[in-house]
């Protein structure tokens, strides 16, 4: 056989080998599960990262699944609380694939899993909310709010329904948003407004009571200060009057006539200050100081 033909066949064989090798070698990433199927049936499950070999594509098919935690939001749905108040909750759900083989057989795709989980969580949410009232959902007193308790119950009960059936696990469920239907929103706002007004009135009443107490205490202290000031002023006045009387007495004892004269002048000044006409008898005590001629004689 000619050498050219031999080289041609070798090239064809090498090319086919390279092509087959390219379609037979694949990698598994750290965040992936890989299930190898043969004519639709699982034959291998790979969960370790690395380089692997398989039969050509028409014999083996690679199915990749994300092993990381996934997150989605449930669709809004109107539910009734235990006190018949309607409410529209939206939850977030964190989930992951726990058994890739069961997941592949039961759900196959992540979108299918999200739809199934959303239905389960909303169903369980409706069941749990029926045991609570609006005061356990929205309240100005944090100790009365039971959202954490509701979330824990939904997580526990939802995992019971999917364990062993779908190959997935719910990591966390949380209520992300709460809304009211428009027909009840106004009544809820009015109730909240009434509660805040009641609280405000209580604070105002307490403030007035405290203000009255402070005013009464201040008035008492003012009265005590004024009484003490009046007491001290009276003591000082009394002491001053005593000293003045003593001084007058001493001065009077030195010259009684002079002081009688001053006293008469003061009396005249007081009587005559309004341009009054004064009629006195000749033996009046006032007249003897005014009648200068008679006294000189």
- Looking at the domain assignment, is residue 201 inside a domain? no
- Looking at the domain assignment, is residue 84 inside a domain? yes
- Looking at the domain assignment, is residue 107 inside a domain? yes
Q: Is the dihedral of CA 229, 231, 234, 239 positive or negative?
A: negative
How many domains would you assign to the chain? Answer: 3
Summarize pLDDT for 151-207 with one digit per residue, the tens. Answer: 999 999 999 999 889 999 999 999 999 887 776 667 767 777 888 888 899 999 999
Give the best-scoring range by mean pLDDT among 7-11, 20-24, 250-254. 250-254
Summarize pLDDT for 141-160 with one digit per residue, the tens. Answer: 889 999 999 999 999 999 99
Residues 45, 132, single domain; the answer is no
Residues 116, 41, single domain; the answer is no
Domain ranges, residue 287: 261-296
């Amino acid at each position: 056989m000619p050498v050219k033909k031999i080289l041609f066949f070798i090239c064809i064989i090498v090319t086919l080998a390279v092509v087959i090798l390219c379609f037979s070698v694949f990698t598994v990433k750290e965040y992936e599960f890989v299930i190898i199927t043969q004519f639709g049936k699982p034959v291998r499950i790979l969960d370790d990262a690395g380089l692997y070999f398989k039969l050509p594509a028409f014999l083996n098919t690679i199915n990749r699944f994300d092993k990381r935690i996934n997150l989605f939001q449930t669709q809004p749905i109107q539910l009734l609380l235990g006190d018949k108040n309607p409410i529209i909750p939206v939850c977030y759900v964190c989930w992951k694939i726990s058994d890739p083989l069961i997941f592949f057989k039961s759900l196959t795709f992540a979108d299918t899993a999200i739809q199934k989980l959303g239905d389960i969580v909303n169903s369980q949410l409706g069941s749990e909310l029926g045991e609570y009232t609006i005061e356990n959902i929205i309240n100005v007193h944090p100790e009365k709010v039971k959202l954490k308790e509701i979330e824990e119950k939904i997580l526990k009960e939802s995992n019971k329904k999917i364990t062993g059936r779908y190959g997935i696990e719910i990591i966390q469920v949380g209520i992300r948003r709460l809304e009211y239907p428009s027909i009840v929103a106004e009544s809820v706002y009015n109730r909240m407004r009434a509660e805040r007004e009641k609280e405000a009135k209580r604070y105002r009443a307490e403030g007035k009571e405290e203000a009255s107490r402070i005013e009464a205490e201040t008035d008492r202290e003012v009265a005590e200060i004024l009484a003490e000031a009046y007491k001290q002023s009276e003591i000082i006045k009394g002491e001053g009057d005593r000293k003045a009387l003593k001084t007058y007495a001493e001065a009077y004892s030195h010259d009684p006539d002079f002081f009688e004269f001053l006293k008469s002048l003061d009396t005249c000044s007081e009587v005559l200050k309004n341009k009054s006409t004064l009629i006195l008898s000749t033996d009046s005590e006032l007249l003897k100081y005014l009648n200068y001629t008679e006294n000189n004689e």
